[in-house]
Amino acid sequence: MIESTNRFSIRNISSLIVLFSILLSLPVHSQVSQDQCKELLSISNEDAKIRNYQAAYEPWRKVLDNCPKLSVATYQIGERILKDFISKANSDEDKLKYTNDLLDLYDNWALNFPSRRGVNQIGKIFSSKGQAMLDNGIEDKSLIYKTFDYAFTNDPNSFTNPKSLAYYFITGYDLFKAGIDIELEDLFEKYEELTEKFQLLQTNISKNLDLILKKEESGTALTATEQRNKKRYNTNTNAVGSYLQLLDQTIAKEATCEILVPLYSKNFEENKNNPLWIRRAAGRLDGKECSNDPLFVTLVEQLHSLEPSADSAYYLGILNDKDGNEEEALKYYQESVALQTDNYKKANILYKIAVKFRNAGRRSSARDYAEQALSYQPSLGRAYLLIANMYADSANSCGDTQFNKRAVFWLAAQTARKAGRVDASLKRISDRTVAAFNGRAPTKTDIFTEGNQGTTISFSCWIRRSVKVPTL
């Protein structure tokens, strides 16, 4: 330990000597050379690595002021330094100074390094700026919203931070409630855009995670890198799910049938030839259980005439379902699946169909569609929860003895546990569900009394599955 500290001190002293020699050699009023900037940036970077931001500041500042186009690392290091200074500021005055420095840094970052390796970074840079404004008490919400909006409008691809995406919407919602800049229709349009963005993030995470899950299912051990990646994907899934839920909670009071139907009715005529607008409107009405309104029929028929698609076929299935035309509805649902070329959107449609069948009491069909959904997206934990809850609901009708009826809950618990394993955002609800189902399953005393530990119980009802009695 002493030896390590001594080496650390020697390295620091060496860095200081180099730094002072460079600073002393700099002419008072002349430009710092590129080579000197490179040395200063290297010194700053070494200090920043060990979080010695006080020491990192001076050489970093020299580089920023004299060689702003030297390296993107100047801005990455500077962001860390200034965030640290803001968090440790001794006064409001100091905090404001460093906050303004950070906001200026983002502007210069975008000016000098708007892309990296040929990929646009404007969305990432300006969404970070908007978040910094929010996090550090900037009160001008209109300016904050415009900063986020500039990022999203000009480069949505690199605007991927789920927290910033959520607060982009929440800031807009606050402006709407204050009667500033944003109308109700603008608010819903932004909600739809951001919801689609979150769904895209979820899909991209799921695609990576599903490769790992499939490897696990095959019994092949994961590499250390794959284990780290799985943990990272699960963390990201949690974040995306949490912030998407925050979006839904924020708009919930405005997204009612009483508000949506008049709004979409008023704007239908000018948007009747816009498939995207119609698809979003129909999706929102369906999502809020407003599909009984005649407007939903109008939207669906218009969408199908403009652009027959997986979405329009699915909505036609809903209409037929409501009219009691079950066979016709199923035909449209299946057409919807066939028309969809993206496996993850296909999985989402199959899951929705499964929910429709579950609500109609057709549990076997519901499970079939849920399992089809899982075949396209193994990380679709909601499908496991759907199946698990149907098992639990069938306990009283799926056993020939009281013990066997309660044994259904073991199967339900096993299925619910899979939801949390494949989708980290469902881990909490999965754990609660598993605990509840196991609490209703036979106890150790029941197993001892029956004397059937280790045996297999088969369920001949619609479940057509079996479960093994635990060994005491």
Type of residue at 136: N
Total count of residues recorded for the chain: 472
Q: Is the pLDDT of residue 9 over 90?
A: no
In a domain, 450, yes or no: yes
Type of residue numbered 200: L
Instruction: Look at residue 355 in the predicted model and tell me its pLDDT.
Output: 92
Per-residue burial over 110-119, b = 16 or more CB atoms within 10 Å of its CB, e = otherwise: beebeeeeee
Look at residue 426 and tell me if it is in a domain.
yes
With pLDDT > 70 as the criterion, what percentage of the chain qualifies?
Answer: 94
**Domain assignment of residue 360, yes or no:** no
Q: How many domains does the chain have?
A: 2
Query: In angstroms, rounded to a whole number, what is the distance separating the alpha carbons of residues 42 and 26?
Result: 17
Q: Is the pLDDT of residue 408 over 70?
A: yes
In this prediction, residue 322 carries a pLDDT of 84
In the 8-state DSSP scheme, what is residue 458? E
Q: Where a domain ends, among 63, 81, 113?
A: 113
Q: Is residue 200 part of a domain?
A: no
Q: Mean pLDDT throughout 55-67?
A: 96
| Residues 208 and 233: beta-carbon distance below 8 Å | yes
Among 349, 353, 327, which residue's Cα sits nearest to residue 339? 349
Least confident of 18-22, 88-92, 174-178, 387-391: 18-22
Supply the DSSP symbol for 256: S
| Average pLDDT value for residue range 360-364 | 92
pLDDT for 69 beyond 70? yes
Q: How far apart are CA 330 and CA 195, in angstroms?
A: 28
> Which of 98, 113, 128 is where one domain is finished?
113
Whether 202 is covered by a domain: the verdict is no
Whether 17 is covered by a domain: the verdict is yes
**What is the band of 400 on the pLDDT scale with cuts at 50, 70, 90?**
confident
Confidence of residue 323 (pLDDT cuts 50, 70, 90): confident
Tell me how many degrees the CA angle 329-347-206 measures, rounded to the nearest 5. 160
Which range marks the domain in which residue 448 is found?
Answer: 379-472
pLDDT (0 to 100) of residue 375: 95
Q: Which of 74, 97, 113 is the last residue of a domain?
A: 113
Residue 126 has pLDDT above 60, yes or no: yes
256 within a domain of the structure (yes/no): no
- 202-209 — which CB contacts under 8 Å span 24+ positions? 202/237, 202/240, 202/241, 202/244, 203/344, 205/233, 205/236, 205/237, 205/240, 206/237, 206/344, 206/377, 206/379, 206/380, 207/344, 208/233, 209/233, 209/234, 209/237, 209/379, 209/422
What's the confidence (pLDDT) of residue 13? 47
> Binning pLDDT at 50, 70 and 90, where does residue 327 land?
confident
DSSP lists the bridge partners of residue 456 as 468
- Residue 268 maps to a domain: no
Average pLDDT over residues 184-213: 94
Q: Is the pLDDT of residue 318 over 80?
A: yes
